[in-house]
Amino acid sequence: MANTIVLIEDERAIADTLIHILELDGFGVKWFDTAGAGLEYLQNQDASLVVLDVGLPDANGFEVCKEIRAFSSVPVIFLTARNDEIDRVVGLEIGADDYVTKPFSPREMLARVKLRMRTSQKTLPASTQKTCPRAVLHSEHYDFVYQGKALGLTALEYKLLEKMVASPKQVFSRTQLMDAAELAQTCAYERNIDTHIKSIRKKLRDAESPELLFTKRGFGYFYDEQSTSE
């Protein structure tokens, strides 16, 4: 279902607020107050985005996100009362696209949802792909394939890798990568770029690739199939 947002949140007051602002802006919302019900829906129906509470009565939201990532690349925004940096890092490392803490501004939440929707729904011609000696970046699937193995990138990870693959050996600052991924220009997000790069590197290692992403200390990151780490 087009523009359908799945909301997995057990607090009715918060759910009612989100449903109101999202539906007012033209989105359809499917609300579930347990992880089990939300996962069952996602395994059988299409969704454009998931807003996922971390503290659910029947499961930890981080574990739920891992389960979602096992079968879907749908954008996921965590909604949580936890404001510690380690929780944000963990959430992003396991595949979430954004992280909003309670209490939150309804307008900010709507803006975050619309931003992630725009990022995930941008399409390129189906034939468009960027090739490297051992790797292919498929725009039609929004994924990176190394020696025939798809990495399973999130929409945000794809945007970051796409930017770097397009200009091998060029060093990109965190700010430039944030622009490429359409992330808000805040100090918190700037540090999150490091987490997303770490996640991409792990997926590349899982695909048994050599080192492809490198750090230029004090400057940023670059992609190179021929380079060696500094």
Lowest-pLDDT range, 40-49, 67-76, 121-130, 181-190?
121-130
Question: What is the pLDDT, as a whole number, of residue 3?
Answer: 82
Half-sphere exposure of 60 (CA within 13 A, CB side): 8
CA distance 155 to 96: 10
Q: Is the pLDDT of residue 217 over 70?
A: yes
Helix/strand/coil (H/E/C) assignment for every residue in 27-96: CEEEEECCHHHHHHHHHHCCCCEEEEECECCCCEHHHHHHHHHCCCCCCEEEEECCCCHHHHHHHHHCCC
Closest CA to 144 of 158, 156, 134: 158
Q: Which of 72-76, 112-116, 190-194, 220-224 has the lowest mean pLDDT?
A: 190-194
Angle between helices 85-93 and 61-69 (to 10 degrees): 20
DSSP summary character for residue 172 = B
Q: State the pLDDT confidence band at 185, using cuts at 50, 70 and 90.
A: low
Distance CA 110, CA 116 (A): 10
- Model confidence at 142, in pLDDT bands (50, 70, 90)? low
How far apart CA 63 and CA 100 sit, in angstroms, is 17
Mean pLDDT confidence for 123-129: 40
In 201-211, which positions are buried (b, 16+ CB within 10 angstroms) versus exposed (e)?
Answer: bebbeebebee
Is the full-model pTM beyond 0.85? no
Expressed in angstroms, the distance from the first to the final Cα of the chain is: 47
Report the DSSP pairing between strands 143-146 and 135-138. Answer: antiparallel
82 burial via Cβ count (<10 Å: 0-12, 13-18, 19+): middle
